[in-house]
Amino acid sequence: MGYILRVTLHVAAMLLCLSVLGPAQGHAIPAASINDIDFMTEQYPPFNYMHNGTLKGISVELLDLVFKELNATVSVNNVRHLPWARAYKTALHVPDSCLFVMTRSGFRENLFKWAGPVMPTTIAVIARKDRNMQVPDAQALKAHTIAALHDDIGHSLLINAGYPEKRIATNPYASSIIEMLNKRRVDAWAYEESVARYFIGEAGYDPDDFETIFTLESSELYFAFNISTPDAIIRDFQNALDVLRERGEVESIIRRYIR
């Protein structure tokens, strides 16, 4: 047998042994953990938002308690605050990522792995009361110009309800949409009810001057993990959430923000 052939067979045998035996002891590949997850959030008060350079909100406080429950080495200081569209695409396509909070809607069900719920949510079409708009069904929405944040749940649900996508007035900023409503550049806004009221107040307007004219969906808010996230991480995160809920800590956080 030639020298080159003998060397080739020897190397092949060694590789076969390594593939069967796995990594050598003392050099095992560490399993992924909660510390490896890239947590992201957006400006979505009172659930998660940046205030004077500090992340606040119901889900932020809840995540902080989950980290402590799991003895994590990371903290909420590691959370990235991003525009929704960018964070959503990251969570959708990049392994070891998580976006919170996200409405767990049917069309998203198999796109992510979920931990929660945090609390209920209502996605609605909102308009000024003085417009006296009547919307008895989804078909009637087509008579109006509706604004939405791009890739937000309101945007997606409008399309799912049959509203023409090209007619949706998309804008990346809630504050800009509120100005469009008040200047009658659009008739209504598809967004989460509680968050819309918060942003309207922040913009200097009275939230009671606005009303829900149509409900697109009632669902719940969750932590949405990239679909490739190991099940063990989801299970540990969910178990920590369940423990916090049983102790009454989730409800206590919610009451501090929503009365």
Domain ranges, ordered by start, for the chain: 34-119+220-257, 122-219
Q: What is the pLDDT of residue 28?
A: 33
User: Which two tokens mark 179?
Assistant: 């100005």
Nearest to 237 by CA among 119, 118, 117, 115: 115
Residue 31 pLDDT class (50, 70, 90 cuts) = low
Find the DSSP H helices in the chain: 3-21, 58-69, 84-93, 153-160, 174-182, 193-202, 231-246, 249-257
Domain spanning 34-119+220-257: which CATH class is it, in words?
alpha beta
Distance CA 45, CA 210 (A): 18
User: Letter for the amino acid at 256?
Assistant: R
Looking at the whole model, is its pTM more than 0.95? no
Class of domain 122-219: alpha beta
Q: In terms of C-beta density within 10 A (0-12 exposed, 13-18 middle, 19 or more buried), how is residue 175 classed? A: middle
pLDDT in tens, 148-182: 998 899 999 999 999 999 999 999 899 999 999 99
Radius of gyration of the chain (CA): 24
